[in-house]
Amino acid sequence: MEERWSTEHVLSLAPDAASQKAAGKLSAPAPWSGTGTDGTALWGECKGSGRTPYRTAIELATPAYQCSCPSRKFPCKHALGLLLLWSGSPEAVPAGEPADWVAEWLKSRQERAEKRVEKQADPEAARRRAAQRGARVAAGAAELRLRLADRIRHGLADQSTAGPWEEVAARMVDAQAPGLATRVRELDALPQERLLEEYAMLHLLATAATRMDELPAELAATVRTRVGYPADTGKAGPTIRDRWLVLGTRDTTDERLTTRRVWLRGAKTGRPAVLLSFGHQGQAPALALPTGRLVEADLAYFPAAHPLRATLGERYGAPEPGPADPPAGLTVAEAVAGYGTAVADDPWLESRPTVLGDVVPVRAPDGWFLTDGHHTVAVRTSAVPEAALWRLAAVSTGRPLTVFGEYGHQGFAPVTAWAAGRRPVGLANA
């Protein structure tokens, strides 16, 4: 039986609220003609303001979208409307063979994918590219170490020779080390009292980047990730099948990219995992899993000293309702100890996924806090909208609740809250 997506899943793909609203108007059969599906793709023609209807096609596996409309949003309202129609009115999108224009688009996608595989299949060429990049990264990291040492030699209080770090960040981009470039750019915005700490951590990372061949394999994988090497799905570990509880989702956006983090916890293994998905400007990330649901699937973790990031493999059925009770949580003291253990494996780990149990949100003159009656942790307000913190307080009503988020040396960033007997409430994108 063909698996239909939920309305929540479809709407989570929208690039913005306006697209969601516009798609809702196209979710009825009236504007559509020539609709169909073969189980792997959807297609249809949607009547618009012009004489010629817009041709819309969707490949479900990726997912990928194609529409003849002029919209720069991705997916456009027509693609979202067709998905909503398919989801809510299956009889309006009957089974059939793809139209010629759909088959041509699917064939072109397949041919491009095969060419990419062929390009990656040449091991000698891959080794040459890897060696060239490794040399560039090592040279860039060596230069960064000299720049940091020069600043220390002149003294942090001496700003006479300390220009902006943007030039150094650009050099790291040229060296194909975007992770170093990002951390270097952040130096200009740091308060004076945190500079020495960040200089030290950045110097440690740059040093490790020049000696990756000497490091243990898992630590070397961590350094590669921090430097900015892309994750290689071919190097992910063995798959782990479990029923994964979706703990929460957070979207972060810059001028070029929307990054979606989806956190999971294995019902049997208890292991945490984070899935990353990206969308270019005007495009929502493809991965969307509803918070509080259970997803039976295969996951494979990427190598790391403290493995968290994973890739999602085969799914076994649609997401199921999660347990009625909130997930088991830690005390504040246990969360601090767990983070300390993780930092011993990965010195650059800024936070880790953590569930706190029986905590109460408190607003004080110097900020927001979570307390379990014995210990207190500060809320990292820079990572959470103010409205979300008031929502957290409203969910609590002064009573203990379960909160999932990221805990690190800068505090706790809440993502999802569970009150007793109630559904999870998302906080990250409020």
* Per-residue pLDDT reduced to its tens digit, 332-345: 999 999 999 999 99
Query: Residue 191 contacts by C-beta under 8 Å, 6 or more apart in sequence?
Result: none
**Percent of the chain beyond pLDDT 90?**
62
Structural element, H or E, at residue 67: strand 64-67
Quote the longest CA-to-CA distance of the chain.
73
Task: Assess whether the previous peptide bond of 94 is cis (omega < 30° from 0).
Answer: no
Q: Which of 419, 194, 223 is nearest to 306 (CA)?
A: 223
Q: In terms of pLDDT, which residue wins out, 360 or 153? A: 360
Quick check: 123 pLDDT over 80?
A: no
In this predicted structure, the answer to whether residue 181 has a pLDDT above a threshold of 90 is: yes
Mean per-residue pLDDT of the chain: 89
Neighbours of 307 (CB within 10 A): 19
Q: What is the pLDDT of residue 3?
A: 63
Distance, CA of 349 to CA of 261 (rounded, Å): 16
Whether residue 15 is preceded by a cis peptide bond, meaning omega within 30 degrees of 0, is no
What's the chain's length in residues?
430
Cα 180 to chain centroid distance, Å, stands at: 19
Instruction: Report the pLDDT averaged over residues 229-248.
Output: 87
Integer angstrom CA distances of residue 191 from 135, 187, 188, 267, 409: 33, 9, 8, 42, 16
Compare 17 and 375 and report the one with higher pLDDT. Answer: 375
Q: Which of 57-71, 203-217, 300-314, 408-422 has the lowest mean pLDDT?
A: 57-71
CB 413 within 8 A of CB 351: yes
* Nearest of 33, 39, 40 to residue 55 by alpha carbon: 33
Name the token pair of 153.
Answer: 């030699």
Question: Does the pLDDT of residue 235 top 80, yes or no?
Answer: no
Instruction: Report whether pLDDT(430) > 60.
Output: no
pLDDT of residue 407 exceeding 90, the answer is yes
Residue 127 identity (one-letter amino acid) = R
**More confident: 70 or 401:** 401
Q: For residues 237 and 302, is the Cβ–Cβ distance under 8 A?
A: yes
pLDDT value at residue 307: 92
Sole residue written with tokens 């060696």:
131
Rounded mean pLDDT of 150-174? Answer: 82
State the DSSP H helix or E strand holding residue 338, giving kind and residue range, or none if neither. helix 332-345
What gap in Å lies between CA 91 and CA 182, rounded to an integer? 50
Whole-angstrom CA distances from 1 to 39, 68, 188, 224, 405 are 9, 30, 56, 42, 36
Q: What are phi and psi of 67, to 5 degrees?
A: -145, 145
Rounded distance between C-alpha atoms, residue 147 and residue 128, angstroms? 29
Whether 429 has a pLDDT exceeding 80, the answer reads: no
Characterize the bridge pairing of strands 376-378 and 239-253.
Answer: unpaired
358 φ/ψ sector (left φ>0, alpha ψ -120 to 50, else beta): left
Which of the two residues, 253 and 91, has the higher pLDDT score? Answer: 91
Residues 15 and 23 sit within 8 Å (Cβ to Cβ) = no
Of residues 50 and 206, which shows the higher confidence score?
206
**pLDDT for res 242:** 96
Listed in sequence order, the residues at least 6 apart from 21 whose beta carbon sits closer than 8 Å to its beta carbon are none
Following CA atoms 376, 380, 381, 385 in sequence, which dihedral angle do they give, to the nearest 10 degrees? -110
Percent of the chain with pLDDT over 70: 95
Instruction: Report the pLDDT averaged over residues 33-57.
Output: 92
Q: Are 237 and 264 in contact (CB under 8 A)?
A: no
162 confidence band (pLDDT: 50, 70, 90): low
If pLDDT is split at 50, 70 and 90, which confidence band does 416 have? very high
Tell me the average pLDDT across 265-269: 95
Tokens 């913190």, residue? 389
The values of phi and psi at residue 223, to 5°, are -60, -40
Average pLDDT of the residues in 166-179: 92
DSSP count for the chain of H helices, then E strands: 11, 16
Does residue 283 carry a pLDDT above 80? no
Band (1; pLDDT cuts 50, 70, 90): very low
What dihedral angle (degrees, nearest 10) is formed by the CA atoms of 337, 293, 275, 261?
A: -80
The angle formed by the CA atoms of residues 269, 412 and 305, to the nearest 5 degrees, is 45
Q: Give the C-alpha separation, 221 to 423, whole Å.
A: 38
